[in-house]
Amino acid sequence: MELRDYLRILRKGWLLILAITVVAIGAAAAYSFIKTPEYSATSKVFVSVQGGDSTSDLVQGNTFTQNRVKSYAELVTTPIVLNSVLDDLNLDMTVTELAAALTATAPLDTSLIQIDAASIDPVQAADIANATSASLADVVDEIEAPDTTTGASPVKITQVTDALVPLAPVSPNIPLNIALGALIGLALGIGIAVLRETLDTRIRNEHDVNAISETPIVGGIAFDAKAAERPLIVQADPRSIRAESFRALRTNFQFLGAGTGGERRSTFVFTSSVQAEGKTTTVANLAIALSDAGRSVVVVDADLRRPRLADILGLEGAVGLSDLLIGRARLNDVIQPWGAGSLDVLPAGRIPPNPSELLGSSTMVDVIRKLEERYEYVLFDAAPLLPVTDAAVLSTYASGTIIVVAAGRTRKAQLRGTLMALLNVETKPVGFVITMLPTKGPDAYSYGYGYGYVADSESESPTMDSTVIPRPAALITSSIPIISTAPGPRRGATTAPVETETDDDLLEDEPIAEAGVGTDTDEAAVLPDEAPEDGALDEDELDPADAAPAGTAPARRKSAAKTTAPAKASATKAPTARKAPAKSTASTKSSASRAAAASDDEPAISRSTRIRVTDPKPAASSVNAQGPLGAIDEDGVAPSEETRATLVSLRSRRTAPRPPRSTARDGSR
Amino acid sequence: MTEGIFTILVVCSGNICRSPVAEQLLRDRLSGIAGVQVHSAGTIARPGVPMTDQAIELSQRYGGQPDGHMSRPLTAALIEGADLVLTAERSHRADVARLHPRASRFAFTLTQFARMIDSIEPDALAKITSPQELVAAAAARRGYVQASSPEADDIADPYRRSQSVYDAAGASIDGAVTSIAAAFPRPVS
């Protein structure tokens, strides 16, 4: 645990800690009140040696008394002294009891003895102290007297301070007791709070999720006590924090959708560990948010056991997916439009006895393919993973699985079990969505708020897109070209789908490198300005096999590595490439080709030319984002041995002199 | 879907209490509008059964013409021929959708449809010129306005129940029909 964790625990458990402290203080105060007050009286005696006039005698006498004083102090609690005290005062106690009530101390380097007597009766305390002093004087006088003569003892004990009747008790010490109580209470409270936190097996916040899996958290949904009453918050109250968190989720989704593995990812399965974690609400709101942004979305209720989607969306869910899967209805008949936007809904339909088999059937695959053709996003609301296998079956067909985790409900072990269930079918989630997050307090969602977007129309702007990107590395991987194929309403002039060259073409075709790759690449990369964090692209979060069809993934990966090579080659040929911009700009095949041309000595731009533009605006901004992109190159490309080898072979084929900068860069490796 | 005719189908269980009353009230309130026809059917109806006496009384109370109604069972063909299906309960709406899946786009419970219509902005309502547009606009409002409870979309079956249940059903039907009739676009002719 880090210090931050402890602070969080303190914030979380402050009420408990306070309560325990107050109780402890109360107990201390009560104890002080109940306890009988005790008084203490003090008398002092002075030990002196008689006789001797010279200075040396005095010094000797002084040394003698100092040696003796300690013994006299010990003598105070002996029966020989105390018996006479008991007799004098007629006390009804034993010698031992009296000895316990007495304390005699001899302050260092003095000839004084201080006698403290404690008693519940102040007068008696004073009497005992005085009587003891007197008795001590007598006893010492008797002991020290020379036995041969009748002469007086050389040691004389004089009472110098009479014990006075104490006015205030010495015990209980109320302030001290209360302070002690507070201290103990505080320690106890903190201990219990830490223990409670350590033993808590529920997932409370994104830290807990991160500790279990490295899969990025793509959304955090604020808790709303009225969620059951108005589940569709995105349209019921678009300005609320909760609606905002769904829009943030939408933004991340557009990045997930931009996908990996050469194929646009559009099919997502939403599942959770157990029931009632907020799957349906999340899917419905996300779908509405996506359709608000102009995306064509279909949301499918694949929970054929406890369908809720139609109810939440206010639709008739009597016929739907299950009827489709048994061939009792046609797709066009059971898909229902929702609202006025581009959102369609496929309810669950009649609850079948064998949901898993139905969802695993080849008809289901056909349905998914059909939906993928028609819509940009196909979202499945699936059954929870732990009790039933439906979602696991479905996840093998989808391009991504999202696990919904309810903060404060899902247990850590359950989430681990869920991940294991997905692992068993050889898939893994592409993201987590944490729902029911408290909006304040120690577990409050720590990002995603405070960006107050003016209107939905701005949702596509780079500003918005850059607000919540938990892990850019997961979204833009270093080795996988992102090629989106699905047409979208916002893609504008840069959307013309064109076949990308084969890798061999790229390698063989010299002019590509010569003229700056932008001219030959139809669609260029768009990386949001702040997306690339230094070194972030090193970690290849997404397994290509997960995202792309199994057969093609490795090939693509390889190709991507190779693609970087000519790009670098172009960098080495910078003087030639610098002549190119006019030409490539004139071609205006894509705005990002300008970006590539303008930054001809930035290999990363050209490296990413295989990624298509999804929005012209970010493309323009990528011109200004050379720095970070360069960083990608440094970190993302360098480690590949294959790339280096290709690069070397390419360089050896070229005769043009290298520009100094490239040389320096090369040397730095 | 006869050419030029907008057909409303009202559905309940037996087609002897709720649906005939709603049918007759709708016919009464929409009588001024040409090209609208209303009829009714029952999901578990036996053919040829007359309305109950209380239902006849209820219909007359709110201005309906209950003469000569005979029950008939719901068929897929009936739904297919309708432009708008209004049901008494959600279960009837589900039955309608099962018989004719496409109908889930234009099948509502009576109170649900009234609620959807009430939620349409007056400006938007003023722009609606045909009954088909009204149905589309109401359908687009689904999910926007939640019922106070799921049961609020149902009209309880008064058959063989006390007069008070009949009265409650009559009041619900009348309220819904009033809302629907008020929003129904009148052709400018």
Q: How would DSSP label each residue in A158-209?
A: EEEEPPPPPSS-SB--HHHHHHHHHHHHHHHHHHHHHHHHHH--B--SHHHH
The reported pLDDT for the residue numbered A469 is: 39
Query: B26 — phi, psi (to 5°)?
Result: -60, -45
Nearest CA among A608, A458, A481, A626 for reference residue A552: A481
In chain A, CATH 3.40.50.300 covers 230-402+409-431
Judged against a pLDDT cut of 60, whether residue B24 lies above it is answered with yes
Residues 6 or more apart whose Cβ sits within 8 Å of residue A464: A251, A451, A453, A458
The reported pLDDT for the residue numbered A261 is: 56
CATH of domain A230-402+409-431: 3.40.50.300
Count of beta carbons in the 10 Å neighbourhood of residue A106: 20
* Residue B189 domain flag: no
Q: How far is A340 from chain B (nearest CA, A)?
A: 5
Mean pLDDT for chain B overall? 90
Judged against a pLDDT cut of 80, whether residue A457 lies above it is answered with no
ipTM for the predicted complex:
0.89
Alpha helices in A528-602 (DSSP H): 544-547, 553-572, 574-579, 581-587, 591-598
Distance (Å, whole) CA A179 – CA A578: 78
| Mean pLDDT of all residues in A237-258 | 84
In chain A, CATH 3.30.70.1130 covers 39-161
Paired tokens of A276: 């009632």
| Mean pLDDT of all residues in A368-383 | 93
**Residue A125 near residue A163 (C-beta atoms within 8 A):** yes
| Mean pLDDT of all residues in A447-454 | 41
Which chain A residue's Cα is nearest to B141? A339
Residues 6 or more apart whose Cβ sits within 8 Å of residue A665: none
Count of beta carbons in the 10 Å neighbourhood of residue A143: 13
Mean pLDDT for chain A overall? 72
Task: Please report which confidence band the pLDDT of residue A5 belongs to, taking 50, 70 and 90 as the band edges.
Answer: confident
Query: What share of chain A has pLDDT > 70, as a percent?
Result: 63
The reported pLDDT for the residue numbered A550 is: 40
Judged against a pLDDT cut of 90, whether residue B145 lies above it is answered with no
Judged against a pLDDT cut of 80, whether residue A461 lies above it is answered with no
User: What total of structural domains would you count in chain B?
Assistant: 1
Q: How far is A491 from chain B (nearest CA, A)?
A: 27
Q: Which of A316, A328, A332 to mutate to test the interface with B (most CBs of B within 10 A)?
A: A316
The reported pLDDT for the residue numbered A445 is: 57
Distance (Å, whole) CA A637 – CA A643: 7
Distance (Å, whole) CA A186 – CA A7: 15
CB contact under 8 A, B104 and A336: yes
Judged against a pLDDT cut of 60, whether residue A468 lies above it is answered with no
The reported pLDDT for the residue numbered A238 is: 83
CATH number of the domain to which B149 belongs: 3.40.50.2300
Chain A residues within 8 A of B104 when measuring between CB atoms: 315-316, 318-319, 334, 336, 347
* Residue B64 domain flag: yes
Q: How far is A330 from chain B (nearest CA, A)?
A: 9
Judged against a pLDDT cut of 60, whether residue A48 lies above it is answered with yes
| Mean pLDDT of all residues in A362-390 | 93
The reported pLDDT for the residue numbered A462 is: 36
**Residue B21 near residue B64 (C-beta atoms within 8 A):** yes
Judged against a pLDDT cut of 60, whether residue B134 lies above it is answered with yes
* Residue B162 domain flag: yes
CB contact under 8 A, A313 and B142: yes
Query: What share of chain A has pLDDT > 90, as a percent?
Result: 30
Q: How far is B104 from chain A (nearest CA, A)?
A: 6
Q: Indicate the residue of A313, A316, A337 with minimum beta-carbon distance to B94.
A: A316
The reported pLDDT for the residue numbered B33 is: 87
| Mean pLDDT of all residues in A196-212 | 86
Instruction: Point out the least confidently predicted range of A510-519, A589-598, B48-57.
Output: A510-519
Chain B residues within 8 A of A339 when measuring between CB atoms: 140, 142-144
| Mean pLDDT of all residues in A521-527 | 40
Enclosing domain of residue B95: 6-183
Which one of 3.30.200.20, 3.40.50.11270, 3.30.70.1130, 3.40.225.10 gives the CATH number of domain A39-161? 3.30.70.1130
* Residue B179 domain flag: yes
Distance (Å, whole) CA B7 – CA B84: 7
